[in-house]
Structure 1
Amino acid sequence: MNKPQSRQPKLFNEIFAGLLANKLTGFLLVCIFASALGVVQVTYLSRQQVIQQDKLLQQRDELDLQWRYLLVEEEFYSQHARIEEVATTQLEMKRPTSKDEQVVVLP
């Protein structure tokens, strides 16, 4: 016995046949898919750029903070009292007295 054919058309075959019949519709469909893929790609790339920008801004803030700490440290070490303290305690230096001074006369 023969199998009875279904009265319902196969939807995929009908859509494909319709696209092949009208070339403009097929071309526009391809353009829509290409445009959608382009939007996805551009969105992905922009998100990557935003992530990179956030990382760079965070790194800039960390470097700025480190720079401020270095300025404070430089100010601390450049104070005369600190230099005198290091000279007397660590290097055991003392101010020369008038007996220790010698005058050198150049000819």
Structure 2
Amino acid sequence: MSKKANHRQPPNLFFEIVKGLGANALTSALLVVIFASCFTVVQITHLSRGELIKQDMLLQERDELDLEWRYLLVEEEFYSQHARIEEVAISQLKMKRPTSQDEQVIILQ
């Protein structure tokens, strides 16, 4: 019984497949095109994932810069307030408001 089972199997399946592909040129050409398209799909997928990673990094950087911009706007608002300017003028620049005696009126003719 084991002789019959061995007799039914081809000696080498790989060589049989290659022999069948060699007999038909169109099948071989289609097989080459299929493999080329498979490798192209893998390459394009790899490049797409790389670009998506770059996009995510750029979006994260944009969010960080946007947050920093908002902080700078708040800081600008703080420093541009009239009371803050007046405080800096009095404390650091030793400025004071003019009194009525310090005012001079100039009449132009």
Instruction: Please classify the TM superposition score into its range, dividing by the shorter chain length.
Output: 0.7 to 0.9
Q: Pairwise mapping of residues 32-71 of structure 1 onto structure 2 (< 5 A)?
A: 32-71=34-73
Identity of matched residues, %: 71
| 5+ long unaligned stretches in structure 2 | 1-9
Aligned amino acid, residue 17 of structure 1? K
For 1:4, the equivalent position in structure 2 comes to none
For 2:81, the equivalent position in structure 1 comes to 79
Measured in 2, the distance between the counterparts of 1:52 and 1:82 equals 43
| 5+ long unaligned stretches in structure 1 | 1-7
Q: 1:43 deviation in Å?
A: 0.6
Q: Pairwise mapping of residues 8-19 of structure 1 onto structure 2 (< 5 A)?
A: 9-19=11-21
TM superposition score normalised by structure 1: 0.84
Measured in 2, the distance between the counterparts of 1:24 and 1:58 equals 51
Measured in 2, the distance between the counterparts of 1:78 and 1:47 equals 46
TM superposition score normalised by structure 2: 0.83
C-alpha root-mean-square deviation of aligned residues, in Å?
1.7
For 1:104, the equivalent position in structure 2 comes to 106
Measured in 1, the distance between the counterparts of 2:79 and 2:108 equals 36
Alpha-carbon deviations, 1:47-98, whole Å to 9, x = none?
0111011011101110110111011101101111100000000000001111
Aligned amino acid, residue 50 of structure 2? Q
Higher helix share: 2
Number of matched pairs? 101
